[in-house]
Amino acid sequence: MWTSFFDRLTALRSAARMPRRRVRLVLPGRGPMRVVYDKAVVHETYSFRSRVLQRTIRLVFKPVLRFTPISERTFAAIRAIDGLQVHRKRSPHITFEVSELGGVRVERMRHRHGPDSEMTLLYLHGGGFFSGSVATHRRICERLALKTGAEVISVDYVQLPEGTIAESVDDAISAYAALVAESNHPDKIVVAGDSAGGYLTMKVAELATRRGLQAPAALLGFSPLLSVDPDREDKAVERIAPARDAYLPIQRIARIRERWLPEDGAPIEGYASPLHAAAYITSPTFFVAVEDELLRPEVEAMALSLSERGVEVETHLWRKQVHAFPVLVDVVPESEMAIQLAADFARRVIGELDRAPVEDPNSHEEVLTGELVPDQDDSAA
């Protein structure tokens, strides 16, 4: 028995030393490139609470997602769980009202005390287009309202099974267009979102340009989904760190994508993947990603594409956190810092930050030298 155990342990150690598989992605109009993060801020340290959370989710939640059937019954169960958040106690420092914006239900939040601001922040919650809601993401919106002084508008866009990504995009841009039309300061509208909401954030920026609308003053993306196929490995983005996402099972994305993009569904306006739309995005952009999450390579690729076009980009990479951790602001202390950094970025961009931006003392800038690398087929030609 002990010999067998020792042999298996030796095999695992040998596998850990094997070369990492690289993920590649070809961007429209460009050759293959190596992903780098240009002067990204790396947050090295992590709390005991965040480490426990990461390991617990990996051991408990990820297996559940891997084997749960993707069906209407599952969607109903997820909504029932999300619905429990409706009864959660609200912050006493925030006022709120429910209204409509461009025909889409929204929840408006404003701080009772805090910095004054002319900013309006449109927030698009995450959840893979089938979970999450304005209720589950109320805490991060409340924090953003307190830290920015802005009115925060959380959008209740359509999700599976009632709608597809195309319809979610339509709700998001409809709400944004209506906000631009009603705002006294359309040049101070910031759009933010996590995960799937990060996808919608970048789509709003792309479609605002395509439709001739006022571009967002800034974009805030917390672990944003930047393509409809982050699971594919026949792409030309080169992964520089192994993907060990705490709870996004890569094997399920293909099945979920069938629901995102049904064959008989309406096409997504513009690019299906925001990663390809960098030429349409001009707004200063703030990104948060986790060291080993599935979505990190494309976040870095987007940051590189935007910065090469002269767009201001600030990228923060965090160690030992979970996907979209800023949403868990009541759970891990690092969330509070990430939200504060995002709030400072937004206030600085619109000219309202009257102090030095907050800095994480346990962070540093790290520059990797990237290069364009020829594909094997190209070199053979």
Provide the residue type at 169 as one letter.
V
Residues 269, 168 contacting (CB under 8 angstroms): no
Supply angle C-alpha 304, 305, 306, rounded to 5.
Answer: 95
Averages of pLDDT over runs of 10 residues in the chain (381 residues) are 46 43 42 51 89 86 78 82 77 92 97 85 95 94 96 96 95 98 97 97 98 98 93 63 66 84 92 94 97 87 90 93 93 96 97 91 68 42 37
User: Exposed, middle or buried, 351 (CB in 10 Å: 0-12/13-18/19+)?
Assistant: exposed
pLDDT tens per residue across span 338-353 = 999 999 999 999 999 9
194 phi/psi in degrees, rounded to 5: -120, 145
Which pLDDT value is given to residue 56? Answer: 87
Which pLDDT value is given to residue 329? Answer: 93
Domain boundaries, the chain: 20-374
Residues 54, 321 contacting (CB under 8 angstroms): yes
Which pLDDT value is given to residue 238? Answer: 59
Which pLDDT value is given to residue 272? Answer: 94
Residues 133, 100 contacting (CB under 8 angstroms): no
Name the 3-class secondary structure at 348: helix
270 Rama class: left (phi>0) / alpha (psi -120 to 50) / beta: left
What span, in angstroms and rounded, lies between the C-alpha atoms of 65 and 294? 15
Q: How many helices (H) and strands (E) does the chain have?
A: 11, 12
Which pLDDT value is given to residue 16? Answer: 43
Question: What CATH number belongs to 20-374?
Answer: 3.40.50.1820
Which pLDDT value is given to residue 37? Answer: 55
CA-CA-CA-CA dihedral for 281, 132, 257, 296, to nearest 10: 50
pLDDT tens per residue across span 97-132 = 999 999 999 999 999 876 689 999 999 999 999 999
Name the 3-class secondary structure at 360: coil
Exposure string of 170-186, with b = 16+ CB inside 10 Å and e = fewer, is bbbbbbbbbbbeeeeeb
Reference 139, options 171, 198, 94; nearest CA is 94
